Each structure stands twice: as structure tokens, then as C-alpha cells.
Amino acid sequence: MPAPKELDPNAGPLALFGYELRKYRESLGWSQDQLADRIRFSTSMVGQVERAVRKPPRVFVERCETALGLSGELLTHWPILTRETSPRWFRSWLEVEAEAEVIRTWEPLVLPGLLQTEEYARAVIRGKPGATDDHVAKALDIRMGRKKIFQRTNQPMYWVVIDESVLRRPIGGSDVMRRQLAYLLEAIKSPRISIQVVPFGLGATTGLSGGFAVAQIRGARDTAYLESAGAGHVTDRPEEVEEIILRYEVIRGDAHSKSVSIELIREVMVEAWTT
């Protein structure tokens, strides 16, 4: 039997929980089958939790605690695994994002969350109706935590296309925008991150109806996330995902090259946001 895939505990809350569960199980010399028998869950469930592809129910965590002779070490992860700040429909995307090997994103209005600075993200989150200080703090913590995927040993390829108007929208004010664009210029230095800009002068484009992202995970279906004003939509239905990928490629075909996009970002940072 092949050795289990190494899990990066920095990849997100689910990955950290799976890593910890496997560590405690193996410390007792138990197989997944042996743990499954003791907690009355399937071996498949244990494997999926340890690979961070499925969130465990609380009873699963409680039974693991008892079976492994622990004193709250696994239950301490429960509040993070069940954060209510993220809408229910978005949580499945967070799990996919944490495992993805390739992510392709289009954003016509704001920068994608994975490339936002803390200041910029705070300004975006505060713009939501009824956002309290507590909501902003929790949502900001989650958004910044998502960036841990770039600390993985198998950092994903991240291909981003944005509209030029994103660079010119004064979110948070001039200082915030200047630092945000400087952050983009640093991020682009990574060989695994690409940013292309669709020129403002192009006018109407295929992507004006909303942003989206497509994630690829080895051995699993591609998954797409589509944004909307009310609630987003996450799907792995092949016909829907293929349509989104096609839309992405059409938009990318209208965008500046990476090198031209870098110069445009630098130009806007200096001319629009440096006083």
C-alpha cells in the first residue's frame, strides 16, 4: 500500500486538523481501519478527514478524543472548523481552495481575496451592509488565513485576470491603494502567480456579469465558484465548469500580457495613487 500523502498543516484549518488526527493515530500505531472501528465511522471517512477533503461532524471529533485518550487536543480545532462568518455555500469553496493545485480567477470589480492586503480587505468587508466591527474582524481573519495556501510546499499556480477599473477604484483611499498595488508587484515576482489586466478602453467584455474562479485538484473534478450580489455558487458539474473555463479563456485573450500588465500596475500606482 502506498504511503499516505503528506499533508501541509499550514494549508488551512481542515489540513491542520487532518494532520493532527493522523499524528495522534500513528503515535498509537493504529491503522485507519483500527481507528474507524473504535469510533464507529467508516475507514473512508477517517481517510477523507485526514486528507482534509471532508469536514468532520462534532461527534466524530468527540469519539476520536475518547478513542485516542486525548484531553481536548482535537476539540480545540472545532471552533475554527465551524466558523460562522463564512456563508455556508462558501465553505465548500474554502476546502477546495486549500487543496487546489491550479486556481484561475477573473475579477471585474475588486482584487481577489488571495491578493488583498489587510487594509484593502478591511475596506472591502466594511462596505457590506450591516457589517459590525466583530463581523469585520472575523471575516478579515478568515480572508488573511486563506493566504496560507501560498506557504504550502506545493504552492498552487495562481492565474489572475482583473479589469483595469479594479486598479483605479479608490477602495480605502490613496494610501491603501498605493500599498495594495505595491503588494501586487511583489506578488507577481513569484513564478507561480500571474496577473493580467483587461484594458479599460476595451469597453464591454464577456466577464462584466461577475467574477469567478476555477480550481483544479489532482484526482478530483475541477470546481468553479461564481460570485453574485446575494450568494455565490459552487459547482463541480462538468458542463458548468467547462462553460466557466471557456469564459475565462475568452477574457484572458482580451487581457494585456503579463509584462504589459505589470507596467500598467506600476503606472497606475504612481500616477493615480502617489501624491
∠ CA 110-151-220, rounded to 5°: 80
Residues 167, 211, single domain; the answer is: yes
Quick check: is 3 in a domain? no
Number of domains in the chain: 2
| Residues whose CB is less than 8 angstroms from the CB of residue 25 and which lie 6 or more positions away in sequence, other chains included | 32, 35, 50, 68
Residues 72, 104, single domain; the answer is: no
Query: Which residue, 41, 58, 81, sits at the end of a domain?
Result: 81
Q: How many CB atoms lie within 10 A of CB 206?
A: 15
Backbone angles phi, psi at 102, to 5 degrees: -140, 135
Q: Is 38's pLDDT higher than 70?
A: yes
Backbone angles phi, psi at 225, to 5 degrees: -125, 125
Q: How confident is the model at residue 206 (pLDDT cuts 50, 70, 90)?
A: confident
Q: What is the CATH number of the domain that holds 19?
A: 1.10.260.40
Q: What is the CATH number of the domain that holds 124?
A: 3.30.870
Q: What percent of the chain has pLDDT over 90?
A: 59
Cβ atoms of 12 and 142 within 8 Å: the answer is: no
Q: What percent of the chain has pLDDT over 70?
A: 93
Containing domain of residue 160, as a range? 89-273
Quick check: is 4 in a domain? no
Quick check: is 1 in a domain? no
> At CB < 8 A and 24+ separation, what contacts does 128-134 make?
none
Backbone angles phi, psi at 217, to 5 degrees: -125, 130
Cβ atoms of 112 and 196 within 8 Å: the answer is: no
Q: Is 84's pLDDT higher than 70?
A: no
Cβ atoms of 101 and 231 within 8 Å: the answer is: no
